[in-house]
């Protein structure tokens, strides 16, 4: 391949992060200190990942790196094929979001990784849900920032250090929406078809009306390239969420700030979701920014992918 793919162009440079590790129950276990890059040279793409695990509890022996990861990528705009030796599988780009499914022999897990670059082009929201067969055994997730001159520029080093300090505070924070303040997360996101072609933009408004400390009435409104409004009462039980109708049914589990859900409307539409409270801090602040990914299914067939960033608005 003479030129890198569009996704490869989006991820040039080095990405710095401190994703948190959670066990299958959603219990926070530790941090993964990572510097990673995906380099296109002489028509060949190689992915590099260097770092180590801080903490980890019983999972430490499985997920601590014994050596830096490096693996080949067959880079293309329709499929990114990971050719080993550290990971084998594929990833499908939808604009600035990639949904990847692959196996890591060193970690001995199957992974479903979602990488979402936010509109600033410099921030990446990352998660890897880890599987043994069909059973979840853990999850890594966090936020990355990009650099091009980290090793030479003291200002870049200071910026990255401040970012990593923020991620250290925010990594273990639970995903809890406002429980007493009504308002909405709102913004414009991209809608991509299953054919990986842009269909247009969708204005999303996720209105939250707290009922009590554990129940919230959620009304989701999509308008633009896709139109729908539906309401459900969401019940929180620790880090588990339940959407109990009347127009949306399903559940979710949160690993720190990131909630992973499966929603069913009252027609043939199903939605696989990830909602990440980007700037949630310890204490009682849910944060002002919510990064969302919604994979839309017509029955059991993928139809489209919506992704973007929503901002909090207090109710008038």
Quick: pLDDT tens for 278-288: 999 998 778 89
Place of tokens 């440079």: 13
Q: What is the mean pLDDT of residues 126-146?
A: 97
Burial of 159 (0-12, 13-18, 19+ CB in 10 A): middle
Fold agreement between 6-170 and 183-314: yes
CA gap 165, 157 in Å, rounded: 12
CATH of 6-170, one of 3.40.30.10, 3.20.20.10, 2.40.128.20, 2.120.10.30: 2.40.128.20
Domain over 183-314 is classified CATH 2.40.128.20:
yes
Helices (H) and strands (E) in the chain, counts: 3, 21
Q: For residue 165, is pLDDT > 70?
A: yes
Q: What is the pLDDT of residues 213-234, one digit of tens each?
A: 999 999 999 999 999 999 999 9
- Window from 35-39, 51-55, 105-109, 111-115 with minimum mean pLDDT: 35-39
Provide the pLDDT for residue 12. 86
pTM: 0.95
Provide the pLDDT for residue 273. 98
Q: What does the DSSP 8-state code read for residue 27? A: -
Place of tokens 């030129």: 3
Domain borders along the chain are 6-170, 183-314
């Amino acid at each position: 391949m003479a030129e890198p793919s569009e996704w490869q162009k989006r991820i040039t440079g080095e990405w710095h992060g401190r994703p948190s590790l959670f066990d299958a129950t959603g219990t926070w276990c530790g941090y993964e200190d990572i510097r990673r890059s995906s380099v296109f040279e002489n028509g060949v793409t190689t992915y590099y990942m260097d770092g180590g695990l801080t903490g980890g509890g019983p999972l430490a022996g499985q997920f601590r790196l014994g050596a830096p990861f490096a693996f080949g990528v067959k880079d293309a705009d329709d499929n990114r094929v990971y050719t080993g030796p550290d990971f084998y599988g594929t990833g499908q780009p939808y604009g600035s979001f990639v949904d990847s499914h692959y196996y890591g022999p060193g970690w001995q897990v199957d992974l479903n990784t979602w990488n979402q670059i936010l509109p600033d082009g410099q921030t990446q929201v990352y998660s890897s849900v880890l599987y043994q067969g069909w059973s979840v055994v853990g999850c890594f997730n966090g936020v990355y920032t990009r650099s091009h001159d980290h090793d030479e520029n003291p200002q870049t080093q200071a910026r990255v250090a401040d970012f990593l300090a923020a991620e250290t505070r925010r990594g273990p924070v639970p995903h809890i929406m406002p429980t007493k303040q009504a308002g909405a997360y709102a913004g414009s996101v991209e809608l991509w078809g299953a054919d990986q072609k842009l269909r247009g933009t969708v204005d999303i408004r996720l209105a939250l009306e707290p009922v009590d400390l554990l129940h919230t009435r959620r009304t989701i409104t999509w308008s633009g390239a896709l139109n729908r409004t539906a309401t459900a009462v969401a019940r929180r039980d620790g880090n588990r969420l339940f959407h109990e109708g009347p127009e949306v049914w399903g559940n979710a589990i949160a690993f720190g700030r990131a909630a992973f859900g499966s929603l069913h409307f009252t027609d043939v539409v199903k939605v696989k979701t990830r909602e990440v409270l980007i700037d949630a801090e310890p204490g009682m602040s849910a944060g002002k920014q919510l990064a969302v990914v919604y994979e839309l299914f017509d029955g059991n067939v993928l139809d489209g992918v919506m992704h973007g960033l929503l901002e909090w608005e207090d109710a008038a």
